[in-house]
Amino acid sequence: MDTIEVFQEELPRIGFGTWDIRGQSGFKALQAAIENGYRHFDTAEMYRNEDIVGEAVAGSGLDREEFFLTTKAWSDNLTHAEIKRACEQSLDRLGTDYVDLYLIHRPGSAPLEETFAGMQELVSEGKTRFIGVSNFSVEQLERSISISDEPIFTNQVEYHPYRRRDALLSFCEQQGVILTAYSPVARGRVLRDKILQDIGDRYDKTPAQVALRWLVQQDYVIAIPKAESAEHQRENLDVFDFVLSEEEMRRIDRLG
């Protein structure tokens, strides 16, 4: 399957961010997230929680194939040998044979040619299904596309109503790259927004739900909110029963 087919047929538009989810309470939050219906989990070697993400998935009673797991190599693990070892260590901690998506967490100093050679091998060896990048500029993404023989599945970047991404969005759309929005509720900042509140009142939705709806209503965009609270988890998935008008979308665009 190519990126667009996976996007259309398999990839949940709302995934679960796991930064800062740790320990026993973190494990419980992950279990609750699975019960609440999340199937895409976003972790990273840097989050030091791959072990509990793996345990929650393994203990869910669901097949591994039901999940879409993303993890990331930190920027000091990007030589050919380092990225291969980093991925294997992540797989060990996650207790799985493969991840669905393996990302460069942020640009580092190793030559990208080396990094992508290592990542391509990880795909050939079945250790990851897809590869991608995070925190890359348009120029860095363009370079990655020209170097990598494997398609770049996503660029995961900070994206929410206060952070515009016009140039990156149009480049992603042209190239068939998915934009994964991190910090999609701006770490709680959207909650106090009068415009999001006003729009939400029309649909009986919260400002967080309006912000998430605004993201997933855009072409090729998915979002990965993090929520330890089960109530927030359910709220963040409940954004598929209303549609923002063109005028409301533009009003939110202008917040950025």
Ligand X SMILES: NC(=O)c1ccc[n+]([C@@H]2O[C@H](COP(=O)([O-])OP(=O)(O)OC[C@H]3O[C@@H](n4cnc5c(N)ncnc54)[C@H](OP(=O)(O)O)[C@@H]3O)[C@@H](O)[C@H]2O)c1
Which of residues 110 and 133 has its CB atom nearest to ligand X in the complex? 133
Q: Which stretch binds ligand X (CB under 6 A): 17-25, 86-94, 196-204, 214-222?
A: 17-25
Site mask for ligand X (CB under 6 A), range 232-251, x = bound: x--xx---------------
Please identify which residue in 5, 37, 58, 187 interacts with ligand X, judged by CB under 6 A. 187
Q: What tokens were used for 21?
A: 């989810």
Among residues 30, 152, 227, 239, the one that binds ligand X under rule CB under 6 A: 227
Contact in structure between 101 and 128 (CB atoms under 8 Å): yes
Amino acid at 123: V
Q: Which is nearer to ligand X, 60 or 75 (CB)?
A: 75
Nearest-approach distance from CB 165 to ligand X, in angstroms:
14
Q: Hey, how many other C-beta atoms are within 10 angstroms of the C-beta on 65?
A: 8
Q: Burial of 63 by CB count in 10 Å (0-12 exposed, 13-18 middle, 19+ buried)?
A: exposed
- What CA–CA distance (Å, rounded) separates 132 from 33? 24
Measured from the CB atom, is 84 or 232 closer to ligand X? 232
- Amino acid present at 127: K
Residue numbers 52-81 binding ligand X by CB under 6 A: none
Nearer to ligand X, 2 or 223 (CB): 223
Angle at 222 between CA 218 and CA 223, to 5 degrees: 115
Size of the site for ligand X (CB under 6 A): 26
Three-class secondary structure of residue 219 per DSSP: coil
Q: Which two tokens stand for residue 31?
A: 């279990």
* 182 lies in the binding site for ligand X (CB under 6 A): yes
- Which residue shows structure tokens 């969005």? 169
User: Judged by CB under 6 A, does residue 255 bind ligand X?
Assistant: no
Q: Which residues bind ligand X (CB under 6 A)?
A: 17-19, 42, 105, 134-135, 156, 182-188, 191, 208, 224-229, 232, 235-236
